[in-house]
Amino acid sequence: MASSSAAAGTGGKAALFAGIMGGVLLVDVATKAAVQRMLREYDQVPVVGEYVRLTYIHNPGAAFGIQLGPYSREIFLVLSLVALVALLVMYWFTPAADRSRLGAIALICAGALGNLIDRVRLERGVVDFLDVGVGTIRWPVFNVADVAVTTGAIILALSLWNEERRASEGG
């Protein structure tokens, strides 16, 4: 019996991970393709007045416009691969019952993979298009993958913090 329940837990773990990762990756790739098909680079389309716009740009750096000089694309390509390997190791060691951590890892993997696809296929960098702000005070333009990585990182940090807190409390 123990092996069949372990197998069911592993299947549930894989299904949760694949479902979240696949869904987020699909939305990321589809939205980037739609933006590239419908807009010209630097076009700005208001969605909610000046507060939320679609602004099509290419970002050779990391999330939210972080740059590391002329080799940003290559550096972030390598860092993405390293991060994906580390996340897959973390996935492997995460118990099936820790659904929040598995979901967080899946979000981060989906975002990293979505932007990695762009880095490989587009020499100019990742397609970004979500533009939020007021007037000239704006957040750097981002995409669905960036939202997934950021959300996943916050959930993962909270999950690890709660685990550490429980361990230090003795239970």
The count of residues in the chain is 171
pLDDT digits (tens, 9 = 90+) for 61-107: 766 666 677 777 778 888 889 999 999 999 999 999 999 999 999 99
Dmax (CA) of the chain: 62
CA distance 49 to 51: 5
Strands (DSSP E) contained in 21-146 are: 44-48, 52-59, 126-134, 137-138
pLDDT at 4: 43
CA distance 159 to 100: 7
* More confidently predicted of 43 and 168: 43
For residue 6, is pLDDT > 90? Answer: no
Active site residues: 128, 146
